[in-house]
Amino acid sequence: MGWNLLMNGLHIRRVVLDKDASSYALTRQILAGLPGVPVHSSGLDPHLFDGEPGKETLHLQHYKGDFLKPCPGTREYICCGYQILNLAANCPLDCSYCILQSYFVNQPSLRVFVNLEEQLPDVLQVIDSQPGRIFRVGTGEFTDSLALDPMTHWSDMLLPQFSRRKNAILELKTKTTRISRVLASGYRDRIILSWSLNGPWISAKEEKGAASIEKRVEAARQCQSEGFILGFHFDPLVPYPGWRDDYARTVELLDRRIDPGRIIWISMGSFRFMPALKPIIRRRHPTSGVLNGEFIIGLDGKMRYFKPIRIELYHVIRHLLEAWHPDLGLYLCMESDEVWRSSMGWSPKTSSGLREYLDQRVVKFFNGTGQPA
């Protein structure tokens, strides 16, 4: 059986191995799972990265920075105070709107940081040293949390550690259905499995390599039925002709398959991007429609939809979701107090207000006992 089939669509053509990455157990494990895939020493072959972002090139690296970092929110908008566990950079999927395309222009390969196991104690030490604080930790900021799991087995390493900590949760955010390892693990406490959702049309057109919305929701249902608490993220919301009906279809799908009482939160965020991403999207995804809306330069320098458009998006989807269930932990990602009030009918006012709101959701769902409330 070829690697492609084994890895559920994950396609690795070559591995680049940094010198200081070769001795790690994770390196050995990954290489053992890639028989026949050529391994190059880094820096030897300048033509390795020819062409488009090297999502078929797996670069195993020793990461020298901090593995745990706060989400880089900005002062101008209300931020949720998430912590990012930095496991990898880049993603095997290829969403047209993905900001990583502009972050990693010069390092387009799929980079996995193989010294995670060595650094994890430091991360946990940071968490344990502040028992009064709730750490909401996610791995899905610079890659998809589960897309690489069949190869990296990150979940084997992370789930036991986070599951036993009373002041943290680990959220694995994905657009895939690569859930077999998390399902096989015995850990459920303080683990949140989240899916990014969109209208089915946007998903089909703009999220290359991702599972269909139907498949994502089905994977979520499976995980929920196996005891996991779920999260969903409607991000990036994109208005296009017919968007209302399309998003309604996704909510209907949730309604049919998912128990809303066991959803910790659902976020909404509209498409936003640094201006440098625009020419990249135009070049890499010439048929994409994500740039078609009316954008302005936001207070943080990113392009975002004109405020009334964002308010309408949130308002419509909020009502769809609230009609399904009144207590879904809805929140907005990187929005202003004014947009919160106009679209959600209330506002946490500040980033610390939003942090508190989400921390309370954690307390409500895991109740300090490790069991869903």
Partner 1 sequence: MNPYRVSEIPLQEVALDDIGDAPGPFCMSFGFDLEPLISSIKTVGLINPPILRSDPGQKIAVVAGYRRIKALKSLNAVSTPCRLIERHDDMPPLECLLLNLHDNLSTRRLNDVEKGMVLSRLSAFVPRQEIVTQYMPLLGLSPNEKGLLFFLEMETHFDVKIKTFVSEGRLSWRAVKMLSDIDAASRAGLLRVISELMLNINQQLQFIDYIVDLSFIEKNPIPWILSELDLDRNHLDKNTNRPQQAKAVLNRIKTRRNPSIVKAEKKFSRAVINLNLPDGILISAPPFFEGEHYRLEILFREGEDLKNRLQELLRIQGLD
Binding site for partner 1 (CB under 8 A): 279, 282-283, 289, 291-292, 294, 296-299, 306-309, 336-338
Q: Residue 292's binding partner, choosing from partner 1, ligand SF4, none, with beta-carbon cut-off 5 to 8 A by kind?
A: partner 1
Point out which span in 32-40, 95-103, 151-159, 344-352 binds ligand SF4 (CB under 6 A): 95-103
For position 332 contacting ligand SF4 by CB under 6 A, the verdict is no
Q: Which of partner 1, ligand SF4, none does residue 291 bind to, with CB < 5 to 8 Å depending on kind?
A: partner 1
- Residue 323 interacts with which of partner 1, ligand SF4, none, CB < 5 to 8 Å by class: none
Q: Are the C-beta atoms of 139 and 169 separated by less than 8 Å?
A: no
Using alpha carbons only, give the angle 69, 184, 144 rounded to the nearest 5 degrees: 35
With CB under 5 to 8 Å by kind, the binding choice for 283 among ligand SF4, partner 1, none is partner 1
Cα(272)–Cα(203) distance, rounded to whole angstroms? Answer: 17
- In this structure, the number of other CB atoms found within 10 A of the CB of residue 372 comes to 17
C-alpha separations of 178 from 114, 196, 286, 359 in Å: 20, 14, 29, 28
Give the angle 21-9-137 at the CA atoms, nearest 5°: 55
Of the pair 39, 309, the CB lying nearest partner 1 is at 309
Residue 258 binds: one of ligand SF4, partner 1, none (C-beta under 5 to 8 A by kind)? none
* Nearer Cβ to ligand SF4 (98/170): 98
Using CB under 6 A as the binding rule, whether residue 93 contacts ligand SF4 is answered as yes
Q: What is the largest CA-CA distance in the chain?
A: 58
Find the shortest distance in angstroms from Cβ 100 to partner 1: 21
Q: Measuring CA to CA, which residue among 210, 172, 242 is closest to residue 96?
A: 210
Residue 126 interacts, among ligand SF4, partner 1, none and using kind-specific CB cut-offs from 5 to 8 Å, with none
Which of 286, 11, 27 is CA-nearest to residue 153? 27
Residue carrying the six token digits 């990150």: 154
Residue 91 engages ligand SF4 in binding (rule: CB under 6 A): yes
* CA-to-CA dists, residue 274 to 103, 296, 301, 304, angstroms: 10, 11, 7, 9
List Cβ<8 Å contacts ≥24 apart for 288-293. Answer: 288/96, 288/97, 288/205, 288/206, 289/205, 289/206, 289/238, 289/240, 290/96, 290/97, 290/202, 290/206, 290/236, 290/238, 292/240, 293/238, 293/239, 293/240
Number of residues forming the site for ligand SF4 (CB under 6 A)? 9
Q: Residue 299 binds which one of partner 1, ligand SF4, none, with CB within 5 to 8 A depending on kind? A: partner 1
Q: Interface residues for ligand SF4 in 131-150 (CB under 6 A)?
A: 143-144
Give the one residue of 80, 84, 100, 253 binding ligand SF4; rule: CB under 6 A: 100
Residue 62 or 278 with smaller CB distance to partner 1 = 278
Closest listed residue to residue 263, CA positions, set 340, 166, 360, 194: 194
- Residue 235 interface partner, choices partner 1, ligand SF4, none, CB cut-off 5-8 Å depending on type: none
Q: Choose one: 43-51, 89-97, 113-121, 293-301; the region binding ligand SF4 (CB under 6 A).
A: 89-97
CB of 186 to ligand SF4, least distance (A): 27
- Which residues sit at the interface with ligand SF4, rule CB under 6 A? 91, 93-95, 98, 100, 143-144, 175
